[in-house]
Chains A and B, each alone.
Chain A
Amino acid sequence: MITLPKPKPDVLARRDAVHEGLRAIMQDRGVITDPARLKPYETDGLSAYRQMPLAVVLPETTEQVAAVLRFCHQNGVRVVPRGAGTSLAGGALPLEDAVVIGMMRMNRIVEVNYRDRYAVVQAGVTNLGITKAVEADGFFYAPDPSSQLACMIGGNIGMNSGGAHCLKYGVTANNVLGIKLVTIEGEILELGGTHLDTAGYDWLGIVIGSEGQLGIATEITVRILRAPEGTRAMLAAFDGNEVAGACVDAIISSGIIPVALEFMDRPAIHACEAFAHAGYPLDAEAMLIIEVEGSVAEQDWLLGQIKEICARFNPISLKVSQSAEESAAIWKGRKGAFGAVGRISPDYLCMDGTIPTSTLPLVLRRIGEMSAQYGLQVANIFHAGDGNLHPLIMFDANDPTSMHKAEAFGADVLRLCVEVGGCLTGEHGVGVEKRDLMSVQFTEIELEAQRRVKSAFDPEWLLNTAKVFPLQAGTASAGPDALPHAA
């Protein structure tokens, strides 16, 4: 279970005054203090961790966000930013003495500019909502987390989210031009803009992926891209993880960079096929979904090349989609993978390490051993192009032993990722979930360097406290003053 810092007694003692203050700022709209209404805010996409907040505020303007943050800063109240609450790392988990600032009412598309290829959107616009707003005109917003239907661009900024098509188009950080960021002091900073390179330090780069540690993003300028003429997928099945991995290497070495290159292992294939009936080969040990784009002739040529490469690795089956419908069917299983696992197991933990692609066979073998050792099933989904591995560990949250085992299993997997040269998280963020594993990847000096940057933005550590950075040894219950400090 996760340790949260001890709430500030003085803040808890001033609960009513804090509520009053928030209501005054918000003019009685969008302030939730009733425990029954607060309940659904006690958790996010990682529902194993729960904590009721002090209050929830649902601002509708940047100025309100600034006023609320200024108020919290003046009163020493902690703040937890929240988008759609789909974080799989507990990034939006509240604290008992914290005000949750929910950004979902700020859901307006402010401006779309096709000539200069950007869109300005409020933080509560969903990831897919951006694409939906521009797709009729032939454009799209590139990063595509599987949660794109629900997750919000503010949360994507928080986690620097990625997706299946990041191999070609990059992650959130590569697709954002500007951010309106409100600091804990209530200052409104304009970072970046509508131009490509910003003078001075790369504030966008440090804010994106900072998990709400540095400020709250209220308005984001994203790059929108013209969609390719078309895309098509193919499916290749192999009888071993090693050959599938070697095939991935061969494709990349050939100079072809598919827009997506997804790997599924046997349990994942079976889970997805049971749910999607996508025609996945059930006799395969490993399967690749490969997608290319361009005109029909270009797709034909690229898929032809890839097919030839795959053929060198004794595939069990190769299926090149002949139509948009067939491609959609191939993707359906992959896109529904988490849900599919949700259907065969009451709960799952989704890990998110990255590994050098060459170590995939080794890592899968070790994960298989751990699975046997912990007695918990696991299905692996891998963004093969960029080394991002998602082992889905299945467990039963109503059984405390099973849950503890799953947590320990997950931690072992992440240690393994770091050991082979990878990292703890590729796109989901550290949150509370991986907070205490940070020292596996970083030295104390490195963590301290990061903490100092945090302190430069938020000297009192009021923003999303107790996430990302390990609580200092022995201080978790010693109260806020013992928390990581300013330099």
Chain B
Amino acid sequence: MIAPEDEAGFTAAIDAAVADRAPLAIEGLGSKTGFLREMQTAETLSTRNHAGISLYAPQELIISARTGTTLAALEAKLAEGGQHLIAEPPHYAFLDGADQTIGGVVAANLSGPRRVAWGAMRDHLMGMRAVTGRGEVVRSGGRVLKNVTGLDLCKLFAGSYGTLGVMTEVTLKVLPKPQATGTVVLYGLTPEVASRALAVALGSPFSVSGAAFLPQEAAMAVGYERAITIARIEDFADSVTYRVGQLGALWAKFGTVETLETAQSVALWRAVRDAEPLPIQPGDAVWRVSVQPSRGAAVLDAGHAAGLFGYLDWGGGLAFLTGPATLAAHEVVVGAARRAKGDWWLLRAPPELRRSIDAVPREAPALAAIRQRVVASFDPAGILNPGRLFAA
């Protein structure tokens, strides 16, 4: 493993890899190594030694960090300023290892429950530096909250899983941590009714910042006996009290409503964020499916019928599913996602399965051609995480 301490180190490593035609696996702490497709690489290039906060301006809602900075370190720094990462990136329970780097979180564009109201990691990536597959340093965006100068390469890099370049520094928009958190809970609904209730919550004027449904098995994993449908409100304490009350009234037509205080709420939503409700067995696969919210229930049902378990976040728009890592199970997920006109990711699976199938849906041919040209423009030698997202 090569783990440079400065940007020049990354440039040198990439130059060498290009010269040797020796593909590199790009990683932070390697927590997501088991994600997506398997790769054949000669060497691993890690950002783990390239860490540190380079700028924190709380009044400007901006933080910049070298990409090897751990999420924990970043969050600790923000906590000093009473702030947090808006997209509340998950620490998935099924990750390899205890922590992840901020670079990896951005490169995978992973967001937690708050994404439904406040946007994804990609939405808060204001600027970055990266070393491309040409060994060139490029910057995009900046350290200001608004920027439309030229093509927005930040967006392209967020979610690119290290296939375009190695990000060396990211600048993120941050916001004040809410004073209080409240949750409204409904028990025992079916997925379909739950998804209606979630839509009512998200369509209400009360600024709901989390909306999830945990079927019984999932609910049990986090200490509830029946299925729970939950909506979160984060704000100043008085506002939370008021809005939780209003939302409870709106939800009364769906059943008996309970509310959770800040401490309980924070714990529950952390579990939802981190996919803790997934009853994962060793060797199981994990899929993530993003669909139009009202269609999430059907995805969950289809999975259930095939022996897969999971839950819904983002008001029904995000389904996590887990179950046996078989081709048949995979096809059930893909079929359900396709019928719901959504996208899917094979997040985790044993190498055998990952080797034989796609990890994300294929693009239409015209788009695939453009994608190949875009990727080649950053990485003409094809040495950065080759095949991680797409086989070709």
Residues 257-311 (chain B) with a chain A CB within 8 angstroms:
290-294
B223 contacts A by Cβ under 8 Å:
no
A interface footprint on B124-153 (CB within 8 Å = 1, 0 otherwise): 000000001000111111111111111111
Docked pose: A435 CA to B125 CA in angstroms: 24
Q: In the complex, are the beta carbons of A441 and B149 less than 8 A apart?
A: yes
Residues of A within 8 A of B196 (CB): 115
A side interface size, CB within 8 A: 96
Q: In the complex, are the beta carbons of B159 and A202 less than 8 A apart?
A: yes
Docked pose: A295 CA to B243 CA in angstroms: 9
- With beta carbons under 8 angstroms apart, the residue of B144, B291, B366, B376 that contacts A426 is B144
A196 contacts B by Cβ under 8 Å:
yes
- With beta carbons under 8 angstroms apart, the residue of B145, B158, B345, B377 that contacts A202 is B158
Q: Are A298 and B143 CB-contacts (below 8 A) given A197-B111, A253-B58, A358-B57? A: no
B207 contacts A by Cβ under 8 Å:
yes
Residues of B within 8 A of A297 (CB): 238, 242
Q: In the complex, are the beta carbons of B146 and A200 less than 8 A apart?
A: no
Distance (Å) between the CB of A383 and the closest chain B CB? 7
Residues of B within 8 A of A116 (CB): 199, 292-294, 317
Residues of A within 8 A of B205 (CB): 138, 226-229
Docked pose: A53 CA to B260 CA in angstroms: 63
Residues of B within 8 A of A354 (CB): 142, 144-147
Q: In the complex, are the beta carbons of A200 and B366 less than 8 A apart?
A: no
Q: Are A200 and B377 CB-contacts (below 8 A) given A116-B199, A252-B61? A: no
Residues of A within 8 A of B294 (CB): 115-116
Q: In the complex, are the beta carbons of A208 and B150 less than 8 A apart?
A: no
- With beta carbons under 8 angstroms apart, the residue of A198, A228, A428 that contacts B148 is A428
Residues of B within 8 A of A209 (CB): 148, 151-152
- With beta carbons under 8 angstroms apart, the residue of B109, B176, B291, B374 that contacts A456 is B374
- With beta carbons under 8 angstroms apart, the residue of B61, B123, B144, B364 that contacts A189 is B364
Q: In the complex, are the beta carbons of A450 and B144 less than 8 A apart?
A: no
Residues of A within 8 A of B123 (CB): 170, 173-174
B59 contacts A by Cβ under 8 Å:
yes
A195 contacts B by Cβ under 8 Å:
yes
Q: Are A301 and B342 CB-contacts (below 8 A) given A200-B390, A425-B148, A455-B377? A: no
Residues of B within 8 A of A206 (CB): 151-153, 155-156
Q: In the complex, are the beta carbons of B136 and A226 less than 8 A apart?
A: no
Residues of B within 8 A of A302 (CB): 236
Q: In the complex, are the beta carbons of A446 and B149 less than 8 A apart?
A: no
- With beta carbons under 8 angstroms apart, the residue of A189, A213, A423, A453 that contacts B142 is A423
Q: In the complex, are the beta carbons of B115 and A193 less than 8 A apart?
A: no
Which of the segments A22-30, A36-44, A158-166, A371-379 contacts the partner chain? Answer: A158-166
Residues 281-307 (chain A) with a chain B CB within 8 angstroms:
294-295, 297-298, 301-302
A interface majority secondary structure: loop
Distance (Å) between the CB of A139 and the closest chain B CB? 8
- With beta carbons under 8 angstroms apart, the residue of B119, B132, B154, B378 that contacts A174 is B119
Distance (Å) between the CB of A224 and the closest chain B CB? 10
- With beta carbons under 8 angstroms apart, the residue of B60, B317, B318 that contacts A357 is B60
Docked pose: A208 CA to B153 CA in angstroms: 11
B179 contacts A by Cβ under 8 Å:
yes
Distance (Å) between the CB of B57 and the closest chain A CB? 7
Docked pose: A294 CA to B240 CA in angstroms: 11
- With beta carbons under 8 angstroms apart, the residue of A204, A301, A428, A446 that contacts B238 is A301
- With beta carbons under 8 angstroms apart, the residue of A114, A252, A386, A452 that contacts B377 is A452
Distance (Å) between the CB of A460 and the closest chain B CB? 13
Among B144, B153, B239, B389, the most chain A Cβ lie within 10 Å of the Cβ of B144
B41 contacts A by Cβ under 8 Å:
no
Q: In the complex, are the beta carbons of A195 and B292 less than 8 A apart?
A: yes
B interface footprint on A180-204 (CB within 8 Å = 1, 0 otherwise): 0001010101110111111111111
B interface footprint on A39-83 (CB within 8 Å = 1, 0 otherwise): 000000000000000000000000000000000000000000000
Q: In the complex, are the beta carbons of B290 and A195 less than 8 A apart?
A: yes
Q: In the complex, are the beta carbons of A388 and B290 less than 8 A apart?
A: no
Residues of A within 8 A of B390 (CB): 200
Q: In the complex, are the beta carbons of A427 and B343 less than 8 A apart?
A: no
> Which chain A residue has the least Cβ–Cβ distance from B200?
A115
- With beta carbons under 8 angstroms apart, the residue of A160, A201, A358 that contacts B156 is A201
Q: 5 tightest A-B contacts by CB?
A: A205-B155, A452-B377, A456-B373, A255-B176, A199-B360
11 contacts across the A-B interface (CB closer than 8 A):
A117-B199, A193-B343, A205-B122, A205-B152, A206-B151, A208-B155, A355-B144, A421-B142, A423-B149, A456-B370, A469-B150
